[in-house]
Structure 1
């Protein structure tokens, strides 16, 4: 298992229930593949450095987790196809 950190920006026009649903979906995706979510830090709505899809704000979430490389690749794939995710990045933490 490797240590990862991901940051993703959600569409700020989503309601609280939809945001919670997406955060839970990404958490469950890691846990279903044998990983462990260590921390989820919700930064909330923040101004973007530049407009993305005609949006000037985004809802930021940072998640620390340990998982296999295949689970991280699956998360990358799901981020790309999920409506409501404006941007995402996954970092592998080196020791």
Structure 2
């Protein structure tokens, strides 16, 4: 059977339990029509590049599955009807990615890095050789000397 990746964006005002119910409904559509879901990932509430139907953020969910093409048509038809889904995309792939997806690895890495620093930005003491002036050009008196 062909392999597919299906990603959908759900409205920002939904609760996580409602997003999980949408993912479960998609899984049921796939399995009742003869497909098999290999992996389901919830990427969480993320900012989107541009506003879609007055939403600036969306809940991202990704499904990796194998199924005949008729299942994809039914899944997309049902997804299109649902008012809670603002965008979706299904792509046929040669093989599924093993382990967590790039988005999940990125989330883990950024959380790990942020945890050590305690937030955004650099420490004040980490200025290197620049002193108090930062990257500014030297003062006129210093340049003439």
**What is the TM-score normalised by the length of structure 2?**
0.63
Which structure carries more strand by proportion?
A: 1
Q: Partner residue of 1:7?
A: 7
How many Å separate the matches in 2 of 1:93 and 1:54?
A: 32
1:16 CA drift (Å): 2.2
Q: Partner residue of 2:34?
A: 34
Which structure carries more helix by proportion?
A: 2
How many Å separate the matches in 2 of 1:48 and 1:94?
A: 27
Give the number of aligned pairs. Answer: 95
**1:62 paired to 2:62:** yes
**What is the TM-score normalised by the length of structure 1?**
0.95
Q: Which runs of 4+ in 1 moved over 4 A?
A: none
1:94 CA drift (Å): 3.1
SS at match of 1:30: helix
Which consecutive residues of structure 2, in runs of 5 or more, have no partner in the other structure?
Answer: 96-145
Coordinate RMSD, CA, aligned? 1.0
Which consecutive residues of structure 1, in runs of 5 or more, have no partner in the other structure?
Answer: none
